[in-house]
Chains A and B, each alone.
Chain A
């Protein structure tokens, strides 16, 4: 009897990896695939880790696979860029234990810096790419991916989307296949990927691609759903489900392998229809491959090649392409409201540092982490953001380009603990080796917060919370050649400002300043809240400019004609004290636990509860 569980796509893939008998699984957190490894770490009988980077994650999984274990690796789409170095060459080798790499794409850039299309790794690296549409198919396809990987001795990529990772549905689950190592037999011909071995392996890839092509033709998950009409639709993943719902009678070829494609079956499907329409997110990947195979089709003529394809866009494209569909229902009409951008949390330790850097008017390069919000209103502290730890290299290059400009001050790199370990270590060595003047602000909040407060080398705790060894940032910076390394407590605003001003403005001298306060969210920081005395407040808005969610300007009932004064919502304030330190008149005070602050409240903000 089959059992069903209600699982997200991420949980379903994790469940399948566990069922498949995976014994080593690795990842670096990144939305939309973060919860995949978190879910897998909750299963018994396997080793899981947050690796220091996607490249390390992939290499650890490769080692496990070579040893004969089933190995699994997960990352977001941009993680594959750094992991592509081992991936592109591992793909040449003969895979031993089943190896599956799950990749989360993010069309529309909900939480990513670009929307690159992971399908392109397929033809680029001779990798099969499988694409599920919902949580149930995610489980089935993951199981098939492991079987395929061992049968054809290939790494397999499982392509997920935010829409497949973060959806949830009923999933049929099964038992765990008892982990069985295939054993390790050393073989340079198969695993030592340098000439002459890699040249011979390149020849073998032709054989593997032919076998994969045959597999794709025969795989029942690539399925034709008959319908009426002269137009046939080709779609994969969640888009196929959208199409089935919007146009239930339309003949559909639902793809589960987006590389290689079952070209002969698609050719036959095309031959039975007057027109072939391709529905796919991002670029014309399927469309191009069909055309290359001599199969006439239409696609990007009707559907956008960027952003997320919503049901509305699919409906519009289908109608414009000539599919007769009932109109979508009339939507409630309301004026577009003001946007709501993410903000740093109340008590976030990044806030005072960002405020100070903004005030010092130094060109700062930002990086990947919560602190990128230092470039959103009211801040514009960071002028660039490219990729993990790129702030370091970018600052070095900009410093060299401006070295003869007497007005230029060395740019500052600002990055967090996890990002620093992920990709900053070689950059630091480069700075010392090449004699760059490097100014670094390291925001060590002991958390990978942007993706949900995961453990990382700064905490020294692994994915299961077991303490090993915390990374010594201060020691590392000194060992690598940085002589001037200072730690600060950024909740002492004035002292931190003095240190940053001195260290960052000093010409011709490298410096690292490490801000040590921990993440308020991860560590659930909650000190007695602060309140504003409206009779002391002069309405100058200095506190507002630290941009903290609880602080707003309000009209107080006892001052109906006067100017606005600031107000702190005590249900949100966690008591970091930064606003009270920037207040020029001492109007912001810490409350006493259990006692109501002795001040009036603004109109409309009467105390509840």
Chain B
């Protein structure tokens, strides 16, 4: 199968690093070699944040580098529409994109210095991506908290990654999410996975 290249894009504070870690543990549980690379630091404060994930078959040599070049991405998971546009160039033509439909306005939009882009899904599709728009915020609120957007997106992503399998994502959620929030997280995952 070669190495599968995922890219997580979002805004600081959306729980992107945890999503990448849960997805990585799921791929590990499915028997793959996995490497991830996240951005931390200043970008946490509402800035643009991102993470790479690569998984591949150990017997085929596993994964060497934790990042991949532009054009090599297979799946883009974007927590926010504008961030999907920012990182779409990392994807190959025909790559899948799972995009949360709720915008988070950057300061230039809040200050009315730039318009928020229109028709993000159409722009991504025009660039050759197969886009699934997810109302992850609505799913998260149904599951109990706006903070569950990250796990809702993992539910939508699980539909794109049959080689990993939802049972491993559920197990990874149980492994990494604190007990008090576990039930709501699993609910957000199931609601999004059901589509």
Chain A residues near B (Cβ < 8 Å)? 6, 31-32, 34-35, 110-111, 134, 162-163, 166-170, 238, 241-242, 244-246, 310-312, 315, 328-345, 370, 373, 376-378, 450-452, 541, 544, 547, 549, 551-553, 571, 608-609
A-B complex: 10 closest residue pairs judged by Cβ atoms: A609-B141, A111-B41, A31-B41, A331-B71, A342-B47, A311-B69, A329-B71, A167-B66, A342-B45, A340-B106
Please give, as numbers and ranges, the residues of chain B lying within 8 Å of A553 by CB-CB distance.
110, 112
Please give, as numbers and ranges, the residues of chain A lying within 8 Å of B123 by CB-CB distance.
334-335
How far, in whole Å, are A95 and B77 apart by their CA atoms in the complex?
Answer: 49
Partner of A544, one of B33, B66, B93, B110: B110
1/0 per residue, CB under 8 A from A, across B26-58: the answer is 001000011111111111111110000000000
How far, in whole Å, are A338 and B45 apart by their CA atoms in the complex?
Answer: 17
Contact in complex: A334, B85 (CB < 8 Å): yes
Task: Known A110-B41, A311-B67, A377-B111; judge A169-B34 contact (CB<8 A).
Answer: yes
Q: For residues 101 through 125 of chain B, which have their beta carbon under 8 Å from a beta carbon of chain A?
A: 104-114, 117, 123-124
Q: Is B99's CB within 8 Å of the partner chain A?
A: no
Contact in complex: B66, A163 (CB < 8 Å): yes
Q: Is B128's CB within 8 Å of the partner chain A?
A: yes
Please give, as numbers and ranges, the residues of chain B lying within 8 Å of A335 by CB-CB distance.
85, 123
1/0 per residue, CB under 8 A from A, across B79-110: the answer is 00011011011111101000000001111111
Task: Known A6-B25, A167-B66, A343-B45; judge A376-B107 contact (CB<8 A).
Answer: yes
How far, in whole Å, are A167 and B67 apart by their CA atoms in the complex?
Answer: 9
How far, in whole Å, are A376 and B110 apart by their CA atoms in the complex?
Answer: 14
Please give, as numbers and ranges, the residues of chain A lying within 8 Å of B95 by CB-CB distance.
332
How far, in whole Å, are A246 and B70 apart by their CA atoms in the complex?
Answer: 13
Partner of B67, one of A163, A334, A376: A163
User: What's the nearest-Cβ distance from chain A to residue B73, in Å?
Assistant: 8
Q: List 21 A-B contacts (CB under 8 A).
A: A111-B43, A166-B39, A167-B38, A167-B66, A168-B24, A241-B64, A244-B64, A244-B65, A245-B65, A310-B67, A312-B69, A328-B71, A332-B88, A332-B89, A334-B124, A338-B109, A341-B107, A343-B45, A343-B47, A451-B41, A549-B105
How far, in whole Å, are A135 and B117 apart by their CA atoms in the complex?
Answer: 39
Task: Known A338-B106, A345-B13, A608-B138; judge A170-B33 contact (CB<8 A).
Answer: yes
Task: Known A345-B45, A549-B110; judge A331-B37 contact (CB<8 A).
Answer: no
Q: Is B137's CB within 8 Å of the partner chain A?
A: yes
Contact in complex: B110, A551 (CB < 8 Å): yes
Q: Is B153's CB within 8 Å of the partner chain A?
A: no
Main secondary structure of the interface of A (DSSP, over half): loop
Contact in complex: B64, A245 (CB < 8 Å): yes
How far, in whole Å, are A241 and B21 apart by their CA atoms in the complex?
Answer: 21
Contact in complex: A342, B71 (CB < 8 Å): no
How far, in whole Å, are A245 and B12 apart by their CA atoms in the complex?
Answer: 30
How far, in whole Å, are A163 and B66 apart by their CA atoms in the complex?
Answer: 8
User: What's the nearest-Cβ distance from chain A to residue B145, in Å?
Assistant: 9
Task: Known A242-B65, A315-B69, A334-B124; judge A167-B36 contact (CB<8 A).
Answer: yes
Please give, as numbers and ranges, the residues of chain A lying within 8 Å of B90 by CB-CB distance.
331
Partner of A340, one of B13, B48, B92, B124: B48
Contact in complex: B44, A452 (CB < 8 Å): yes
Task: Known A245-B64, A343-B45; judge A337-B70 contact (CB<8 A).
Answer: no
How far, in whole Å, are A168 and B27 apart by their CA atoms in the complex?
Answer: 13
Please give, as numbers and ranges, the residues of chain B lying within 8 Å of A169 by CB-CB distance.
33-36, 63, 66
Please give, as numbers and ranges, the residues of chain B lying within 8 Å of A162 by CB-CB distance.
39-41
| 18 further contact pairs, Cβ within 8 A, besides A134-B66, A338-B109, A571-B137 | A110-B39, A110-B43, A169-B34, A238-B66, A328-B69, A329-B71, A334-B127, A335-B85, A337-B117, A340-B82, A342-B45, A343-B46, A370-B45, A450-B41, A544-B111, A544-B112, A552-B105, A553-B112
How far, in whole Å, are A373 and B107 apart by their CA atoms in the complex?
Answer: 12
Contact in complex: A6, B28 (CB < 8 Å): yes
How far, in whole Å, are A609 and B191 apart by their CA atoms in the complex?
Answer: 13
Contact in complex: B28, A170 (CB < 8 Å): yes
Q: Is B193's CB within 8 Å of the partner chain A?
A: no
Contact in complex: A166, B127 (CB < 8 Å): no
Partner of A166, one of B33, B38, B92, B129: B38
How far, in whole Å, are A310 and B41 apart by their CA atoms in the complex?
Answer: 19
Please give, as numbers and ranges, the residues of chain A lying within 8 Å of B41 by CB-CB distance.
31-32, 110-111, 162, 450-451
Q: For residues 139 through 179 of chain B, which have their beta carbon under 8 Å from a beta carbon of chain A?
A: 140-142, 146
Contact in complex: A329, B105 (CB < 8 Å): no
Which residue in chain A gives the minimum CB-CB distance to B128?
Answer: A332
Contact in complex: B106, A373 (CB < 8 Å): no
Please give, as numbers and ranges, the residues of chain B lying within 8 Å of A571 by CB-CB distance.
137, 146
Please give, as numbers and ranges, the residues of chain B lying within 8 Å of A339 by CB-CB distance.
48, 106, 108
Contact in complex: B47, A341 (CB < 8 Å): yes
Task: Known A340-B47, A342-B45; judge A329-B92 contact (CB<8 A).
Answer: yes
Task: Known A134-B35, A245-B65; judge A373-B45 contact (CB<8 A).
Answer: yes
How far, in whole Å, are A31 and B65 apart by their CA atoms in the complex?
Answer: 21
Task: Known A328-B69, A343-B107, A609-B138; judge A163-B85 contact (CB<8 A).
Answer: no
Please give, as numbers and ranges, the residues of chain B lying within 8 Å of A452 by CB-CB distance.
40, 44
Contact in complex: B42, A342 (CB < 8 Å): yes
Contact in complex: A167, B37 (CB < 8 Å): yes
Most B CB atoms within 10 A — which of A329, A330, A376?
A: A329
Task: Known A110-B39, A343-B107; judge A333-B33 contact (CB<8 A).
Answer: no
How far, in whole Å, are A243 and B90 apart by their CA atoms in the complex?
Answer: 19
Contact in complex: B70, A166 (CB < 8 Å): no
Which residue in chain B gives the minimum CB-CB distance to A378?
Answer: B111
Most A CB atoms within 10 A — which of B13, B70, B112, B141?
A: B70
How far, in whole Å, are A167 and B51 apart by their CA atoms in the complex?
Answer: 9
Please give, as numbers and ranges, the residues of chain B lying within 8 Å of A340 by CB-CB distance.
11, 46-48, 82-83, 86, 106-107
Please give, as numbers and ranges, the residues of chain B lying within 8 Å of A35 by CB-CB distance.
40
Task: Known A241-B64, A338-B82, A608-B137; judge A332-B91 contact (CB<8 A).
Answer: yes
How far, in whole Å, are A102 and B130 apart by their CA atoms in the complex?
Answer: 43
Contact in complex: B63, A547 (CB < 8 Å): no
How far, in whole Å, are A544 and B112 apart by their CA atoms in the complex?
Answer: 9
Contact in complex: A337, B68 (CB < 8 Å): no
Contact in complex: A332, B92 (CB < 8 Å): yes
